[in-house]
Structure 1
Amino acid sequence: MKKEKRKRSAMEKREARNFYLYTAPWLAGFLVLTLYPILYSFYLMFTNTDLTGTGQFIGFENLRYAFTDDTLFGKAFYNTIRYVVMFIPSSIILAFFIALLLSKRIKGLGFFRTAFYIPYITSGVAVTILWGWIFQKDFGIINYLLSLIGVQGPNWLGDKKVAMFAIVILSLWTIGNNIIIMLAGIQDIPQSYYESAQIDGAGAICQTFYITLPLSTPTIYFNLIVTVIAAFQIFQQPMILTNGGPLNSTYTAAMHLYNNGFLYGKMGYASMMAWSIFAVIMMITVVIVSSSKHWVFYDE
């Protein structure tokens, strides 16, 4: 009995040692490359530190400056929220219905699934430059197609009224990951539900809105949270296509963070911007999580 206890104790010690040994590289990387920068950026928010790392503690001066003197702070957040309001509902709806179509047994299904997913894994810079050509006012393919039916296309990237719509359209091109996740959720719904509905005489539309949609709400819930987090950090598309223009109509919070941190050298102010974006994302996420009990339905 004592020998068994000793063997068990030695095995537990060996397993514990191996656990710490194997997780040590990840733990060290997390502490040095993730946790420390997060905590240090929180400290920088209360300083006027520049790119050289020198600065003084100034308390809430960065926040005061943002809300009273920085005219681009409010504009950047307004544009970001405007983008979020347009992009998130359209991306969730589009991802659901495309996934619904991809869940059907049709010829060439593998090709279509691949085609919708490829834009997501393609280089973001390359895709953005490609869409810059597509949106070109005089020679872009969109305006050319519109001209064939006698419609004069807008100046997609040069008109402040439509530039953000162009950014949203580009972003919708790259929702392949949401589509795949939604497709997995739809395929996980038991077929017995559809068979029972068919016996009761329910058509395809009724099955979609009374079976597929309610039982897809857990997947929609996940996609919604992930998309909110990503949408508030929109940076690459407006930076490459318009550089925030025209007249700052596509100038986002992430761009303001980047410009202050790396162009103007205001790392303290940029850290305040980063935590402001985090605070907004956190508040919206809390609202979504709190409301999920009213609209997310699980199989059980």
Structure 2
Amino acid sequence: MAVYYSLGLDIAGVTTDTSSLVISRKVISSREIECILLGKLPNDRECARRLRKNNKKYASVSSLKKILELATVDELAEEQTKFIQEQLTEVRKNHWPLLPSSIPLVVDTPLDTRELLPFLGFHRTSKIKAHIKGMNSYNELVKRSIDEYYEGRPPYADLIGSVPVRFKTILAYSRTPYVLAKNLFETYPRACIRELNTVIPTHPLHELGYGGSAHWTGLAWTSPNNNLLDNIRGIGIVGMPGVREILTDHELDAILCSVVNLSGNPPSFKPNPNHILFQKSQYLKRGVNLNRGLPKGYRVVAYLYWDIIKIVGRV
């Protein structure tokens, strides 16, 4: 019985302590997905707190601000990767003892930005002119075609530009050797919601305005945000009967990240083209200029290949 596992990381909020990590699994012949909520990826202050606890060099430093002044980037990144391994160890110990050591990862941050790099690296006027000739918008200089298509932020914009860089430092210290488009993928939760909207006509989903949290009473979800409720119910997420649970919008995004890769076939982890939207023709229908190609490893859920997603635990 083949069981597929996938990690989903909503990392966009890592600087504001709102990132979320989720692990999901699915028996290939089943239409049920199980997921475990793994908590927030440590932000800078939490990394400093962990360093004070785990590193003798900082044990006597009372100020977290001072630790951040003294700590190196590699020390902070290593604490973040240790956190992920600690959470997976807990999953093996208390939930899924057969969890493999290497698990594919899907993250909501730009990974393949080669479409933008030529312009960023040009200094000669002639090369800049050649690169921009024929462009219809300045957006083509700062956004990849896929970012424009799904109305995503420019990868190197001020509000989000630090996230891809930070994520690469985490990858550098990961015990798992991640390879883009093999066991490492990029997605965009808003894009997943947009595509799922085309196959869930009876439960309209909301791309925006679903912030906050929802409470599972043991029987049903409640939330002051109806958009969040619509998304949770439409996607088919439920908690355990009789067990109270809280689900934030960032955890919902992390779940969406994780399910992107659960319909693939190991060992390549290449998603099933019947379930995942990644063919150029699908995008070209909407008039997006993809002459420069799609980002490597970009995946979007575009087919509801499950009936239910159960939250079966929290670490």
Structure ranking higher in strand proportion = 2
The TM-score normalised by the length of structure 1 is 0.22
Larger radius of gyration: 1
The TM-score normalised by the length of structure 2 is 0.22
Structure ranking higher in helix proportion = 1
